[in-house]
Structure 1
Amino acid sequence: MHERSSVAGLAKSLKAELNRYSPGEKLPSSRALVERYRVSPVTVTRALAQLASEGLVVTRPGAGAYRADTRTAAPAAGDTSWQELALSADTATELVPRSVDASGVLVTLAAPPPGVVEFNGGYLHPVLQPERALAAALARAGRRPGAWGRPPADGLTDLRAWFAREVGGSVTAAEILITAGGQSALTTALRALAPPGTPVLVESPTYPGMLAVARSAGLRPVPVPTDADGIRPDLLEAAFRATGARVVVCQPLFQNPTGAALPVERRAAVVRIARAAGAFVIEDDFARRLVHEDSAPLPPTLAADDPDGVVVHVCSLTKITSASLRVGALAARGPVLERLRAIQVVDSFFVPRPLQEAALELVGSPAWSRHLRAVTQELKNRRDTMTGAVALHLPELALPHIPSGGYHLWLRLPDTLPEAALLPTALRAGVAVAPGRPYFAAEPPAGHIRLSFAGVAGPAEIIEGVRRLRTAIDELTG
């Protein structure tokens, strides 16, 4: 049995037996638990640690584990009503009041109840993650000389050089800043490029986490419509003229949520239009390594073809590895680099060196290329499975674009199917989906849902999840 599932199973069994013991009574010894449940001593230790973290048992070194006394009086409720005034007082003079709405992000971070098919995920399922390679990389990283010392504020030189090669073109290590993942990089870029109260142009629809960052910084997201080929250059140019914005955020490759990829002519047009407006392009290149076909070459990054410093490039290792490998990069050239560096240092000082060293070990190992090939093939298989299942079981849902990269499908709901009612109904049917509303900066043109095929165990679970979604829709429309 997998170690992680063994720990969870033993913890569940021990929790069910706790009522046999009085508060303060000693539990069986670790040796007795090993023999009774036929698990390893490590599993016993971790299961007891889990119960201790939940306040159910107390472990005493050298003495054993004891049932905790949970019969404690509830703390007196305080009066926090004063905070309403304190938190709203600083918005009275703001042109665009700052708001922190993480609901669109939490949908993809929250784990659904056990037994629910997770179509709302934003990361690779553990079966797709390079867990052994990550563990080996972390172990090697911890033994590197100076691995626990303070890293350079900009990041390890070798890691910056690797990211520079990934960005391509004439980008150098000196133009790279290592960040704590892509979300942190987006936050730094938006804070650096747009002062509070100003507009920022965004694709419509777009990534909810970026909209949340913009609004929390007091920015005003202005939507620019997209089509099957991504953001429309004619409307982008009109939006710059109408708003005077100095920033546009764009995902040129496998856009979230539509999956669109900008063709060559549009890629050049986006940079040219921004340059003419005296504006920056924040290129969120989050999905480059989530390609579904490894035969056709990918287009270069916008930053690779930008000698004038129009593009501020954002990328990370998180999506292709694990949600916990929060290592990313910002690439920029010109005076803006110093501003990005200053904000990065003030916000976080630096990314922990052991994590940077582990990232270096991973991308420099033979396991890295094997992992990329395996994920490419598996994502293609899952995309095809989900596409076929949707066509068979959910023909009334429109799929305007089948992506060639990324980890999800973007489906338009018929006008007769309310998005707000579908989500809880689907959850009762045993499938969690991501709502479309958080992906729009303004009123959406129709109801949508996003279905992830990367956060589930495999094709069989995809087919079952689509069947459950069929049940939910029948309940609403039958």
Structure 2
Amino acid sequence: MLDIITSAVETKTPEGIASAISRLIRGGALRSGERLPTVRDVAAALGVSPATVSNAWQALSKVGLITSRGRAGSYVLEASTAWMPPHFGELAGSHVVARLDLSTGTPDPLLLPDLGLALGHVPTRADTASYLDTRVLPDLEKQLRASWPFVPASLTILDGALDAISRSLEAIVRYGDRVVVESPGFPPFFDLLEQLGVEAIPVAIDSEGMKPELLAAALDLNPAAIIIQPRAQNPTGVSLTEQRMRELARVIRAKSHVSDPVIIEDDHSGEIATGPAFSLGQWFPRRTLHVRSFAKSHGPDLRIGALGGPTSIIDRVVSRRMVGPGWTSRMLQTILYQLLTASPSVTQISEARRVYHARQRALSEALVRAGAEHSPSDGINTWLRVRDEKAAILSLAASGIKVAAGSSFYAVPVESEQFVRITAGRIRDDFDQIGALLAAAARAS
């Protein structure tokens, strides 16, 4: 093992040694549970001081790659996410608690609305007259339709955005089909496609959304579906512009003789995004499924989302659920309806949207002042280009900051693209200090 480590080290600094060990662990050359050589042995082999290696070991420990067992030595940490789907597991990263965790992609709990008033409207008994009762509360459906970006033929409620997308794909695709995804994109989508035996066709995005010319090329492969996040795209925070949406619609229409994929739109941050609610359903209502989630705005633990689109597909989703969970609890639907209509919660969500927007701007401006290239994002996440992903993560870990590795967000590895995802919405203060640390990490190699 000592030979493997010494041959992998390119720069004999704490950062260089830590980066080499990180690459060996992530590449599988050093396996979970293996004992590392002693600090003194590594130092002697590299011709550096024990303090240099010790600092490298400390950095690796902070990011959750190794652990010290005292006199027994240091070991490669056992994977804590083995039970997760592979892309989801990569997104989860290490379980080490950081001083400031900006890797989660979750909202600031202090900006979630108070549930007290909504809970007061929940029935005191979890009863239903029939297992065949309507799946959606009429008042909630009316409220959702009033703000839907196109007129959906049917609408149903499911257990969050990912549940809606999973069930939509199950109703649409077959083994061996192809599905267009954004690149970078949301890792759980890649897991879903792999489990369904479907090939992901990555299409790059820019500051306005999916690139039309690359979508055109992808449509020549006759995909069964397109998955797109129109607002606050995860991980980049990009929201589609009206012009780009029109360009994508033109491309899809021009290729209709080759392919007629179902369009699945994941509006996961709609209530707290500042971008307008554009939808391809305005042009293709008979083959657009629009998903609206309330996890980022009203709370991840509500586990509720809405799916609207053509009746032919929605009916298949509802029918399949009848021999599974049946429906999403009407008690949860009552809570959501109250949160969407009661003045106090509506005001709280409006304030959360304003605060997230201000935090995104404050962080972006701090990054630019510190010498990084960056533009403000929408929603709670932002995307920062770095010189070396692993070096950046290690640099930030040394300061007690955790971010998500950008490589996790690519269906197909892209070596030339080095980024990290930052959950900017969880930064409440100290923007200049955090921006300086992030900018320094972006230059690390």
Normalising by structure 1, what TM-score? 0.68
Q: Distance in 2 between matches of 1:145 and 1:422?
A: 50
Equivalent of residue 88 in structure 2, options 91, 102, 106: 102
Aligned position for 1:317: 294
Q: Distance in 2 between matches of 1:350 and 1:104?
A: 31
Alignment partner of 1:453 is 2:421? no
Quick one: structure 1 residues 369 and 469, their matched pair in 2 at CA, closer, same or farther if it must change by over 3 Å? Answer: same
Post-superposition CA distance 1:39-73 (Å, at most 9, x none): xxxxxxxxxxxxxxxxxxxxxxxxxxxxxxxxxxx
Aligned counterparts, 1:173-188, within 5 A? 175-188=154-167
Question: Which structure 2 residue ranges, 5 or more long, are not aligned?
Answer: 1-82
Q: Distance in 1 between matches of 2:329 and 2:133?
A: 10
Give the counterpart letter for 1:309 in structure 2.
R
Alignment partner of 1:195 is 2:174? yes
Alignment partner of 1:260 is 2:238? yes
Post-superposition CA distance 1:397-454 (Å, at most 9, x none): 432x422x2112211112xxx2123324422320010111111111223210111122
Q: Distance in 2 between matches of 1:266 and 1:151?
A: 43
Quick one: structure 1 residues 153 and 185, their matched pair in 2 at CA, closer, same or farther if it must change by over 3 Å? Answer: farther
Aligned position for 2:105: 122
Aligned counterparts, 1:286-301, within 5 A? 286-292=268-274, 298-301=276-279
SS at match of 2:142: helix
Equivalent of residue 237 in structure 1, options 202, 213, 216: 216
Give the counterpart letter for 1:412 in structure 2.
R
SS at match of 2:286: coil
Quick one: structure 1 residues 147 and 343, their matched pair in 2 at CA, closer, same or farther if it must change by over 3 Å? Answer: closer
SS at match of 1:441: coil
Structure 1 position 269, deviation (Å): 3.8
Q: Distance in 1 between matches of 2:363 and 2:129?
A: 44
Tell me, yes or no, if the aligned pair for 1:100 and 1:216 is still in contact at 8 Å. Answer: no
Q: Distance in 2 between matches of 1:274 and 1:345?
A: 34
Q: Distance in 1 between matches of 2:319 and 2:229?
A: 25
Equivalent of residue 434 in structure 1, options 368, 391, 404: 404
Equivalent of residue 373 in structure 2, options 393, 398, 411: 398
Structure 1 position 152, deviation (Å): 3.9
Tell me, yes or no, if the aligned pair for 1:112 and 1:118 is still in contact at 8 Å. Answer: no
Tell me, yes or no, if the aligned pair for 1:211 and 1:441 is still in contact at 8 Å. Answer: yes
Post-superposition CA distance 1:173-211 (Å, at most 9, x none): xx1110111111111112221112221111111111222
Q: Which moved more, 1:434-443 or 1:464-473?
A: 464-473
SS at match of 1:335: helix
Give the counterpart letter for 2:271 in structure 1.
R
Q: CA RMSD in A?
A: 2.9
Give the counterpart letter for 1:410 in structure 2.
W
Tell me, yes or no, if the aligned pair for 2:273 and 2:353 is still in contact at 8 Å. Answer: yes
Structure 1 position 319, deviation (Å): 1.0
Tell me, yes or no, if the aligned pair for 1:155 and 1:177 is still in contact at 8 Å. Answer: yes
Give the counterpart letter for 2:198 in structure 1.
L
Structure 1 position 308, deviation (Å): 4.2
Quick one: structure 1 residues 307 and 421, their matched pair in 2 at CA, closer, same or farther if it must change by over 3 Å? Answer: closer
Structure 1 position 289, deviation (Å): 1.8
Aligned position for 1:95: none
Question: Which structure 1 residue ranges, 5 or more long, are not aligned?
Answer: 1-86, 88-98
Give the counterpart letter for 1:398 in structure 2.
E
Alignment partner of 1:410 is 2:383? yes
Alignment partner of 1:224 is 2:203? yes
Q: Distance in 1 between matches of 2:101 and 2:326?
A: 35
Structure 1 position 155, deviation (Å): 2.5
SS at match of 2:298: coil
Tell me, yes or no, if the aligned pair for 1:197 and 1:220 is still in contact at 8 Å. Answer: yes
Quick one: structure 1 residues 209 and 152, their matched pair in 2 at CA, closer, same or farther if it must change by over 3 Å? Answer: farther
Equivalent of residue 156 in structure 1, options 132, 137, 142: 137
Give the counterpart letter for 1:376 in structure 2.
R
Q: Distance in 2 between matches of 1:299 and 1:180?
A: 22
Tell me, yes or no, if the aligned pair for 1:153 and 1:349 is still in contact at 8 Å. Answer: no
Q: Distance in 2 between matches of 1:356 and 1:217?
A: 29
Tell me, yes or no, if the aligned pair for 2:149 and 2:277 is still in contact at 8 Å. Answer: no
Structure 1 position 370, deviation (Å): 0.5
Quick one: structure 1 residues 278 and 147, their matched pair in 2 at CA, closer, same or farther if it must change by over 3 Å? Answer: same
Post-superposition CA distance 1:134-179 (Å, at most 9, x none): 132123214489589868463222222222222143235xx11101
Tell me, yes or no, if the aligned pair for 1:274 and 1:310 is still in contact at 8 Å. Answer: no
Aligned position for 2:329: 352
User: Quick one: percent identity of the two aligned structures?
Assistant: 22
Quick one: structure 1 residues 350 and 210, their matched pair in 2 at CA, closer, same or farther if it must change by over 3 Å? Answer: same
Post-superposition CA distance 1:241-295 (Å, at most 9, x none): 1x221211111223222232323343234345445121111111112222348xx
Q: Distance in 2 between matches of 1:183 and 1:333?
A: 19
Tell me, yes or no, if the aligned pair for 1:186 and 1:314 is still in contact at 8 Å. Answer: yes
Give the counterpart letter for 1:250 in structure 2.
I
Aligned position for 1:138: 119
Aligned position for 1:250: 228
